[in-house]
Amino acid sequence: GAVVSQHPSWVICKSGTSVKIECRSLDFQATTMFWYRQFPKQSLMLMATSNEGSKATYEQGVEKDKFLINHASLTLSTLTVTSAHPEDSSFYICSVGPSGFYEQYFGPGTRLTVT
């Protein structure tokens, strides 16, 4: 069964609005979760590392005020795209790397379309 879930699986929003994407670790407690973005026909690029109980660590070039990450519990991290623009349209995927396991488990992804 699924180890990591994401909600919603797809969302369409208008420019200027905010969208929240949830990532849940179903089988593991996750002090760290990762958020990736994938543009069409491109690779996954890490956006940020979500840390439970503390601030997220953003990769260079990712606007932390635009992509708000909250990791309030050991099983839930949320990514909020604020004031969305059409160029934010992408596939957003989260992952969990449980302690003691070498594998990283990915969520099914959320396809965001901003009109």
Partner 1 sequence: AQKITQTQPGMFVQEKEAVTLDCTYDTSDQSYGLFWYKQPSSGEMIFLIYQGSYDEQNATEGRYSLNFQKARKSANLVISASQLGDSAMYFCAMREGPGTASKLTFGTGTRLQVTL
Distance (Å, rounded) from C-alpha 72 to C-alpha 76? Answer: 7
Nearer to partner 1, 58 or 70 (CB): 58
Nearer to partner 1, 43 or 54 (CB): 43
Nearer to partner 1, 66 or 111 (CB): 111
Summarize as ranges the residues that interact with partner 1 (CB under 8 A): 31-32, 34, 38, 42-46, 49, 91, 93, 95, 97-106, 108-109, 111
Distance (Å, rounded) from C-alpha 113 to C-alpha 93? Answer: 14
